[in-house]
Structure 1
């Protein structure tokens, strides 16, 4: 089956957990269902650097030959080790989630990552809930290296680890289990959103969330997970340049582009290459990470900017939808909407929506499109996905961190 990645949020928490999901789409290319299509995780060694605090982003098809996937390489090491390391290619750059997640199938068994244990000695395992499915796997400690930056011994999720094959009923019932690289569309996720933890206080205080589990060899049960043991945003643990990120991508032509590269820069206002300049700062709700989009007079209060979504997803009953899940208007539409932050700042945003079926069919070699849109999950939600990033520098500020634009969380562009 051909697959394209569509990233949408799961919002039932105090701190928003925004994670990637997969929607099957026609005409996206790729037939191989084997995880080996991913290149089995890349090579050993470090990722290539552009500056000491930056890495290159490639917009490519990834393991499943999808569209509009921003991909980077991430080096994962055993804690406090400079030798037990592996660089994992095709990791999805995701400003809509927090934390590193990697498939066990691409992680070398020789990398000895310690299991995160709860106070009673049981293993901490996570059911990360996606809009179209869930990832199941243990929380383990690892060093995360990118460019000159290092996050030491932070909790990450290892997806589909065979040591925990029995997925709890609560996880199965809340969504399809995305247990292969192919089903997800990438080798894992580099979650660098506005929050430090992937779930926050909700998962630390309650057990009814169905996200974190205490597992023994026999059973798993839902558990409250201390915030320090939850999967963490690695940027927040860098020694420097740790208050957020900036993503810069070039504009792409209306017909799309085959090869697009950009930059992921760590820090905001900490170096000459990550200055805010005249960027508009839009603060977001510190509990949900959301702001308001005003579209055709309607206030869509659950809006967010998300590099891991491959389109602009919003409610619009007047635009016909394709069988692929994107919109297919008879002709390309020029539209506008207005962003409104919690700080009251507004900015009008022009955007275009093309006929996705025609666009993809007529440009089979393209993997980057700036004019894809589709229906959203609800009438009050606007997901400003990867097309919003083309032709811009977009900043994502982490909660509680000081920046020249104020204390996060916020987006700026």
Structure 2
């Protein structure tokens, strides 16, 4: 059985201010689940639509042609706090959404580089319904539309395409991260533009500037209420399991079921990062990401943890490693995180379990606190510029 390595945090390009807050860090345990409410939707960690996805948390949502009753329910959409915006495979869509056009009157498409690959496809508009929350006329990205050949500026990144069910492992991505748009001011400016958005006449796609209101939007930020962030609630995981269920709760401190309840607030920098200190060394580019399916950090030379054979992409220590690190926000709040890393080859040998709290692997030069970090915690993601009881986002809290 194939167990894929997936790290879905988008390369940060937004520019914004940091939030604030305080409190003490709770220990990892089984959190109280907000099982009901118009702002609550069930989520599940399981093998996904391909039945080989490890530590992927999925949700069902509804998209509609804007302002109409022409709607479709789409299951198995990955919940990703490391990016912003809804991205759906064209193969999962049976309704036709409205295409966004650029200044020249031609279709707009987008190339989004994630750490583990890129997505490419047109920007279209949809109404999005999740639980009792609805966002209207939201720009989203539709992946793998054959009418839009991938431009060289996108394919030449050296990253693999994640525009199919086999490579993405989901019917789409629901980005409910720290930012209101997937790019922000950088893509709206001709100076220093990262070139994510393209206008596509028949002669070929060319990079353009994209107004912030036209960019792919975090749908939570467009809800009429409960729009300042999300909370993910998942039970603790002591060993491999076939599946678990939890809740995605919209809003922070907006209703009785989404209070911070003493969670420590970790403010982030303009890229959405805080500092993790491990074995006495600080890593200031660290982040929390439900779209990554393990703890991804450093490399074997730095950690002294044996890596699995290629192309596994995970750690394979001879004995489970019990580790600790300290996270610190830009507001000075800090707390210790205890975590474990087991032998991935051994974990995957069951072929029936898809939920592991001790899966980890080599990463970049910092810490990516992936989905195992969420097990047994209520983890809050506060959106930039939005007011919460602990101050203005963006921040993580747990």
Structure 2 length as normaliser, TM-score? Answer: 0.91
Native 8 Å contact 1:63 1:182 kept in 2: no
Q: What residue ranges of structure 1 are gaps of 5+ in the alignment?
A: 17-48
Aligned-residue offset at 1:5 = 4.3
SS across alignment from 1:63: coil
Is 2:236 aligned against 1:248? no
Match of 1:150 in 2: 134
* Cα separation, 2, equivalents of 1:245 and 1:276: 11
SS across alignment from 1:396: strand
Is 2:201 aligned against 1:216? yes
* Cα separation, 1, equivalents of 2:297 and 2:66: 42
SS across alignment from 1:122: coil
Residues 270-281 of structure 1 aligned to structure 2 (within 5 Å): 270-281=254-265
Residues 84-233 of structure 1 aligned to structure 2 (within 5 Å): 84-108=70-94, 111-164=95-148, 166-174=149-157, 175-206=159-190, 208-233=193-218
SS across alignment from 1:105: helix
Aligned-residue offset at 1:405 = 1.1
Native 8 Å contact 1:102 1:189 kept in 2: yes
Is 2:358 aligned against 1:371? yes
Match of 1:57 in 2: 43
Aligned-residue offset at 1:70 = 0.1
Is 2:385 aligned against 1:400? yes
* Cα separation, 2, equivalents of 1:216 and 1:248: 44
The number of equivalent residue pairs is: 372
* Cα separation, 1, equivalents of 2:117 and 2:288: 21
Match of 2:342 in 1: 354
Match of 2:62 in 1: 75
Instruction: Flag the 1:96–1:15 CA change in 2: closer, same or farther, 3 A.
Output: farther
Structure 1 length as normaliser, TM-score? Answer: 0.87
SS across alignment from 1:4: coil
Match of 1:24 in 2: none
Native 8 Å contact 2:181 2:218 kept in 1: yes
Residues 25-64 of structure 1 aligned to structure 2 (within 5 Å): 50-64=36-50
Native 8 Å contact 2:8 2:83 kept in 1: no
Match of 1:409 in 2: 394
* 1:76-117 Cα deviation digits (max 9, x unpaired): 100011x21001101000000000000001100xx2311111
Native 8 Å contact 1:15 1:195 kept in 2: no
Match of 1:44 in 2: none
CA RMSD of aligned residues (A): 1.5
SS across alignment from 2:307: coil
Match of 2:286 in 1: 303
The structure showing larger relative contact order (alpha-carbon pairs under 8 Å, at least 6 residues apart) is 2
